[in-house]
Amino acid sequence: MHLFSFLLVFILGLEHLYGVVAVIQNNDVEEIKDRHRRSVSTDRRSEIRDISPEDRPSCPPGQIYPPNRVNSTQRLRDLRDEMRKIGIDAYIIPSGDAHQSEYTSPYDQRRRFICGLSGSAGYAIVTMANAALWTDGRYFLQAEAEMDCNWILMKRGEKGVPSSTEWLISVLEGIEDATVGSYPYLLGSRSWTNYEKELSKNNITLVKTNEDLVGNIWTSGRPSFPNSPINALPYKFAGRHWQEKMADMHVAMKTKEADAMVVSGLDETAWLLNLRASDIPFTPVFFSYVIVDRKKNQTILYIKNHNTKLTSNPTEEETTQKLYEHLNTGTDGSCSGKPGYCVEVREYDPVAVTDKVSSVVEYSERVWISPICSYAFYSLIPKEKLLQENTPISVQKARKNPIERQGMIKSHVRDAVALISFVARLEKEVKAGVRWTELSAADKLTEYRGKQMYNRGLSFETISSSGSNGAIIHYAPSNLTDKEITTDDVYLLDSGGQYLDGTTDVTRTFHFGSATDFQKECYTLVLKGYIDLANVKFMKMSFGPYGRELDILARRHLWNSGLDYRHGTGHGIGMYLGVHEGPARIGMTGKQPSYDHPIEEGQFFSDEPGYYEDGSFGMRVESIMEVKKFNLKYKFRNSVFLGFELVTLVPHEPNLIKYEMLSKDQIDWLNIYHKKVQDIIGPLLINTNREAYDWMELRTRKITYAVSAAPKEILSLLIILLSFTLVFVS
């Protein structure tokens, strides 16, 4: 444990002697380290083989199936036919696309097609006799509802739940020369190598399939491959020209002695070249690969329908350049005769890209790829030539430049105006008896955001959840699940927008009636952790700090009451890019992932603790915060102190706060934050939307700290001291 971690835990331990500091597994993104398990004992294998779909609460005979459940029977039958054709005993189906995107286009939602789970995280494995799905705590309830009873639900991180390798080893026992297959373009390199390592110990072979087997059977109703227009992002939003970024790439590659870099992440391509599109819903990226060849001073971009897109007029009104002009290339994508940096543009074809990477590897001494890279490309590079770590793109993208920072701040101001205006209307009308549902609220909020300058849609599907639906962490309302928003239930609203100058993500939880004491207590515990994380200052060190060393600040008040939440505390966020952005994050991990990155000035993170009572309600508070340098009261020699400043400016729900549970520091923080909301958002509302202004003003009034709010222990001590004084005087 780092010194930073030790000191933080020690201090917290002094403050809460009864508190227990533990390390929990973070399930935010696909983790493969849990597959490094000990050999599976005979008894354990038998126990694992006995796990069945009937263990799920909704699957025993006589249960009523949820209305949004997907029938997978024929799909599994068809997939097993494909498996027989090529002679494999099991098939792994990850969530991502060929670029390992967290959120995928409808065309690439193979795992959803085969099992029904619509959530962004999870991987499915199908054998000839069984089918199992592993997902994290965000999707336990959702998976239970959406998957039919052909599927075993493996709740990752729960006690007794086997890893996918344990399960494969157990269910394939007794099959001679058992073989597991997966399509190498879809499975990440880290996942592949760890599967291969663990399965080989048990005489099970992992093989590449030449075809995408789910794609082979998904012949009806499959959406078309994305092919949206690509537009240049002007300098006034990007803050740096792509040529400057490319020069930085060459410097970073030279430092690492890398001759070439293969860029497969869609957000990395978009950021590097200052381009945006809409191939993936809610994320302004496009299907592409980039090869940066430092040795030949060549950059190649692969995109779909390249000949047409190079010369097409821009579809973005803020953009004036055509694609070939922006990239300093010819109308045919050639760099012949072009001075300075030029991007050669070719047709998006995974086979052609694979061939080119193979040829680059031959004459390169070292080739750089991301840890988030498909096995298809990873397997092309000999170990002695491989550099696999966070690319300079991912690190620089997360560290926003000054213009990007200002854009993020300004976009969050406009976003706050939209959200406050909408919720003010929503609360008034719900209390007046007007019927609002989860879906109608989500749709109307989208309209409010759409009226803001530079808005280009949502940053993710709105989580508009009332009552028990709020306990489904990443719930998305549908016609089958839509509930009315009333004064009787907690209402959780997690939403965000895409703007040319920023990406937003904000959660506020409301109660428009009378909340129970337990609901208020849960909300206040969440709020306390949220404030403590937002308010922390920490010294920048050579080895960190990392987000995992701060996560406890958000959880400790919940832990002290025996509660927790099954998701990370904070994720990075892009600038008119992905709502989730790496490589740094705030969350507990059992072991440091190889791609983890320290917290640095200029990064933006969410702060989003929560609590979820199954079948009843969900509580979450989330704001986006910027990492900044702070000048504090004292100056330790040669030190730099960092902290967070919130850029989200939306009031918190006073109807759910138990103020007596807040410390003086927490109340002071809340008053300062709400004063900032008044000062910045108030003038934008007072003359344009008086109803919204009044709503905001009511929720941002100064809170007075009373002695009655002091901890019971202090009051007890004062009583004892007073008693001793009276005895002494008498």
For the segment 182-194, the average pLDDT, to the nearest whole number, is: 96
502 vs 408: CA distance, rounded Å: 5
* 549-558 pLDDT per residue, tens: 999 999 999 9
Residue of 608, 530, 604, 607 lying closest to 572 (CA atoms):
604
pLDDT of residue 17: 31
pLDDT 10s digits, 378-421: 999 999 999 999 999 999 999 999 999 999 999 999 999 999 99
Cβ atoms of 350 and 303 closer than 8 Å: no
* Position 287 pLDDT exceeds 50: yes
- When the pLDDT of each residue in the chain is averaged and rounded to a whole number, the result is 91
pLDDT tens, residue by residue, 517-540 = 999 999 999 999 999 999 999 999
d(CA 263, CA 292): 8
Question: Residue 4 has what pLDDT?
Answer: 46
d(CA 150, CA 71): 9
> CA-to-CA distance for 147 and 126, rounded, in angstroms?
14
> What does the pLDDT read at residue 453?
98
CB 232 within 8 A of CB 319: yes
- Per-residue pLDDT band at 715 (split at 50, 70, 90): low
pLDDT at 640 over 50: yes
Which of 172-176, 591-595, 716-720 is predicted most confidently?
Answer: 172-176
Task: For residue 257, count other CB atoms closer than 10 A to its CB.
Answer: 11
**Interior/surface letters 291-329, b for 16+ CB within 10 angstroms, e for the rest:** bbbbeeeebbbbbbebeebbeeebebeebeebbbebbeb
Token couple for 296: 């030949």
492/467 Cα distance (integer angstroms): 8
| Res. 104: pLDDT tops 80 | yes
Q: pLDDT-derived band of residue 41, with 50, 70 and 90 as boundaries?
A: confident
Torsion-angle region of residue 154: left (phi > 0), alpha (psi -120 to 50) or beta?
Answer: beta
Q: pLDDT tens digits for 447-461?
A: 999 999 999 999 999
C-alpha to C-alpha distances, 238 to 230, 402, 403, 405, 502, nearest whole angstrom: 15, 10, 7, 10, 10
Quick check: 39 pLDDT over 70? no
Q: Over the stretch 585-614, which tens digit does the pLDDT of each residue have? A: 999 876 667 789 999 999 999 999 999 999
Strands (E) in 214-286, as ranges, are 231-232, 260-263, 275-276
| Mean pLDDT of the 313-327 span | 97
Q: What domains are there in the chain, each with its CATH number?
A: 31-217 (3.40.350.10), 231-388 (3.40.350.10), 402-713 (3.90.230.10)
Any idea which of 323-337, 638-652, 660-674, 704-718 has the lowest mean pLDDT? 704-718
